[in-house]
Amino acid sequence: MINAQPQAVPELSDQPFFIIGSPRSGTTLLERILNRHSRLFIPPETEFFYRLMLQGLLGKPFDAGQASRFLDSYLECRPATLLGLARTPELKRRLLEDADDYGTLFLRLMDVLRGSCQKPRCGEKTPHHLQSATTILELFPKASMIAMVRDGRAVTRSRLQKPGWEDNLFSAARLWKRDSEKLVKLLQSHGDRRILVVRYEELVTDTSRVVGQVCEFLGEAFQPEMLNPEADEGSRFDNYYQQSWMAKASRPIDAKSVDAWRSAFLPKELALINHLQGPNLRYWGYPVETQGAEYFPIHK
Residue-wise pLDDT tens for the chain (300 aa)? Answer: 334 444 566 677 778 999 999 999 999 999 999 999 999 999 999 999 999 999 999 989 999 999 999 999 999 999 999 898 887 889 999 999 999 999 999 999 999 999 888 899 999 999 999 999 999 999 999 999 999 999 999 999 999 988 777 679 999 999 999 999 999 999 999 877 899 999 999 999 999 999 999 999 999 999 999 999 887 766 667 777 777 666 666 667 778 889 899 999 998 999 999 999 999 999 999 999 766 565 566 555
Q: Which pTM was predicted?
A: 0.90
Is 269 part of any domain? yes
Cβ neighbours around 186 below 10 Å, total: 20
Burial of 126 (0-12, 13-18, 19+ CB in 10 A): buried
Q: Are residues 83 and 229 in the same domain?
A: yes
- Enumerate residues 6+ apart whose C-beta is below 8 A from 90: none
Q: Are residues 256 and 288 in the same domain?
A: no
Residue 143 zone, left/alpha/beta (φ > 0; ψ -120 to 50; rest):
beta
Is 5 part of any domain? no
CB 90 within 8 A of CB 81: no
CB 49 within 8 A of CB 106: yes
Range of the domain at 257: 17-264
Q: Are residues 292 and 166 in the same domain?
A: no
Is 272 part of any domain? yes
Q: How far apart are CA 63 and CA 230, in angstroms?
A: 45
Torsion of CA 73, 74, 80, 84, to 10 degrees: -60
Q: Are residues 290 and 252 in the same domain?
A: no
Is 10 part of any domain? no
Q: Are residues 101 and 191 in the same domain?
A: yes
Q: Are residues 90 and 236 in the same domain?
A: yes
Q: Are residues 100 and 68 in the same domain?
A: yes
Which DSSP letter does residue 245 get?
G
- The CATH code of the domain that includes 202 is 3.40.50.300
Q: Are residues 272 and 246 in the same domain?
A: no
Q: Are residues 164 and 274 in the same domain?
A: no
